[in-house]
């Protein structure tokens, strides 16, 4: 277990370093945006990683509600926390790129706003976990995760339909067509690196949470045993 973790950590480090080289050096400079565009290799992989984390959180929450398995809850918690971190990276790198390119830090377009609302929902999820008492915490959190997942669909549609007075910004160097293969390469390698990093942190956080659960359980058992002795 420990050696697997070390190997995985080293692999993550290697992938991220190679991704850094690919993104900053190997990928060609974009024609109109110049070097500013290179933030794309961090922005987009973070976004994909964050969305995957939130999706994993949703699946783990359903799994928890179905079987009340504490492992599922530990996964839900760790993916939500890591997802919020990556989502924060997206929301910070976005404006850094937008200011020199669009001339503004922020615009209320569909993708930006839905990411922001997604972030808000998961921050409220983490707050709920912090403020609820230990026993009912996982149940309430799982229920909120399901509400959040349902809401994401509505958020996306609502912003597309009711916020259309704002022009859809042309995302230069966007995905799909027109992307240089070397750019695509840098993007995918960075994504692999970010995903590996996310998995690594989730793994650590999961182990920590499991330990916390076991300690809590041991305390509870001890208290019950003590109470049993006391009544005798």
Partner 1 sequence: MSAFLPVLCVTLAKDMRLEWRSKDAINSMLFFALLVVVIFSFSFDLTAEESRRIAGGLVWVALLFAAVVALNQTWARELRNQVLDAYRVSPAPAESLFLAKAFGNFLFVIILEALMTPLFVVFYDLRTVGPPYQLAIASVLGTWALVVNGTFFAAMSIRTRSREVMLPLLLFPISIPALLAMVAATTAILTGENSPYLSLVFLAVYDIVFTIVGFFLFETVLHAE
Residues that bind partner 1 (CB under 8 A): 65, 117, 120-121, 123-124, 127-128, 131-133, 135-136, 139-140, 143-144, 146-148, 150-151, 154-155, 157-159, 161-163
Shortest Å distance, C-beta 211 to partner 1: 23
Nearer to partner 1, 16 or 123 (CB): 123
Shortest Å distance, C-beta 146 to partner 1: 7
Nearer to partner 1, 101 or 110 (CB): 110
The neighbouring-strand residues paired with 34 are: 30
Shortest Å distance, C-beta 68 to partner 1: 10
Q: Which among 186, 31, 181 has a CA at the least distance from the CA of 101?
A: 31
Nearer to partner 1, 36 or 91 (CB): 91
Nearer to partner 1, 5 or 147 (CB): 147
Instruction: Return the structure tokens found at 84.
Output: 């919020």
Shortest Å distance, C-beta 149 to partner 1: 10
What is the Cα–Cα distance from 198 to 202, expressed in whole angstroms? 6
Nearer to partner 1, 34 or 166 (CB): 166
**Which residue reads 């993708």 in tokens?**
111
Shortest Å distance, C-beta 85 to partner 1: 18
Residue 180 per-residue DSSP state: -
Contact status, residue 46 vs residue 190, Cβ threshold 8 Å:
no
What is the Cα–Cα distance from 116 to 121, expressed in whole angstroms? 9
Contact status, residue 75 vs residue 60, Cβ threshold 8 Å:
yes
Q: What radius of gyration, in Å, describes the C-alpha atoms of the chain?
A: 21
């Amino acid at each position: 277990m420990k050696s697997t973790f070390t190997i995985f950590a080293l692999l993550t480090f290697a992938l991220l370093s190679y991704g850094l080289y690919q993104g900053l050096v190997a990928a060609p400079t974009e024609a109109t945006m110049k070097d500013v565009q290179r933030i794309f290799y961090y922005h987009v992989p973070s976004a994909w990683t964050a969305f995957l984390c939130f999706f994993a959180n949703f699946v783990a929450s359903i799994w928890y509600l179905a079987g009340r398995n504490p492992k599922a809850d530990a996964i839900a918690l760790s993916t939500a926390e890591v997802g919020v971190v990556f989502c924060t990276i997206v929301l910070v790198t976005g404006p850094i790129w937008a200011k020199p390119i669009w001339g503004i830090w922020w615009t209320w377009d569909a993708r930006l706003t839905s990411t922001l609302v997604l972030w808000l929902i998961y921050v409220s999820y983490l707050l709920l976990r912090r403020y609820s008492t230990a026993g009912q915490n996982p149940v309430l959190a799982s229920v909120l995760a399901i509400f959040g997942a349902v809401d994401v669909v509505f958020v996306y549609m609502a912003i597309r339909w009711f916020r259309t007075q704002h022009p859809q910004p042309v995302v230069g160097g966007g995905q799909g067509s027109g992307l240089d293969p070397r750019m695509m390469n840098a993007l995918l390698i960075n994504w692999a690196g970010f995903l590996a990093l996310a998995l690594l942190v989730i793994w650590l956080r999961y182990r920590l949470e499991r330990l916390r659960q076991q300690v809590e359980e041991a305390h509870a058992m001890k208290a019950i045993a003590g109470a049993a002795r006391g009544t005798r």
